Chain A
Amino acid sequence: KAGVTQTPRYLIKTRGQQVTLSCSPISGHRSVSWYQQTPGQGLQFLFEYFSETQRNKGNFPGRFSGRQFSNSRSEMNVSTLELGDSALYLCASSSTGGGSYGYTFGSGTRLTVV
C-alpha cells in the first residue's frame, strides 16, 4: 500500500513569488492535513480538508490556502512568499481525520525562500 506522497521534495523560491505543493494521501483516506515545521516554531497546524471541504484551519495568514480534489489529493498554495515561510511542509492523511485514528505523514516538501 503506497504511503503519503508529497511533491516536490525540495523547492527554492524567491520572495514575492507563489508556490504550490502537492500531497497524495493513502488510498481510501479522505482527510488531509497540512503542517509547517520550522526550528523556531516547531510543528504547527495549517489546515485540514475532508471530502473536498476545509474542516479546520490553524492560525496562519490568508496567504496560505489549500484545496482538496475529488480523489482526495490536496494542494497547498502560498502566495507572496516571505523569508519566514522557509520550512518543511508536511502533509498527513487519515481515514476520517482527528481523534483516535492517527495520521500517516509524508516525507515533506522542504521550501527555501531566498
Chain B
Amino acid sequence: AQSVTQLDSHVSVSEGTPVLLRCNYSSSYSPSLFWYVQHPNKGLQLLLKYTSAATLVKGINGFEAEFKKSETSFHLTKPSAHMSDAAEYFCVVSDGGYGGSQGNLIFGKGTKLSVKP
C-alpha cells in the first residue's frame, strides 16, 4: 500500500533563507508524487509533480523537489523563502501510478511553513 510521511509538522524559516520540507514515501511500484500547497481558507494548489521523467522536478514559485528512489524521499526545497510562502504543504502519492485508472490521492499530514520577516 502507498503512504507518505511528512517528517516535520511545522517548519519556521526567516525570509530570504532556504526552505526544506521533508517527505518520505512508501510505494509498491513507481509512484506518481505531488506537492500541494494550501493557503488559509483556500483550496489546494499543485506545486509540482513527479511522474518518472526527470528526478529533479521544478514547480511554480521557485519550488523544486528531487525524487530519490534509494532513499524513498521527495523533499521540497526553495532557495529563498518569501513571506507569501507561509502556508501548509502536503506531500501526496497517487494510488494509481502512471495513467492509472484510480483517482485516489494519499496525503501526508501536512507541514505548516512559517516565514519570519
A interface list, Cβ under 8 A from B: 4, 6, 31, 33, 35, 42-45, 48, 50, 55-56, 58, 90, 92, 94, 96-108
Q: Cβ of A98 and Cβ of B44 under 8 Å apart?
A: no
Decide if the interface of chain A is mainly helix, strand, loop or mixed.
strand
B interface list, Cβ under 8 A from A: 32, 34, 36, 42-46, 49, 51-52, 90, 94-110
Q: Cβ of A108 and Cβ of B96 under 8 Å apart?
A: no
User: In the complex, what distance in Å separates the CA atom of A94 from the CA atom of B104?
Assistant: 12
Q: Cβ of B43 and Cβ of A107 under 8 Å apart?
A: yes
**When A and B form their complex, what is the total count of cross-chain residue pairs whose Cβ atoms lie within 8 Å?**
86
Q: B102 contacts which chain A residues (CB < 8 A)?
A: 48, 55-56, 97-98
Q: Cβ of A35 and Cβ of B105 under 8 Å apart?
A: yes
User: In the complex, what distance in Å separates the CA atom of A11 from the CA atom of B102?
Assistant: 29
Q: A45 contacts which chain B residues (CB < 8 A)?
A: 104-106
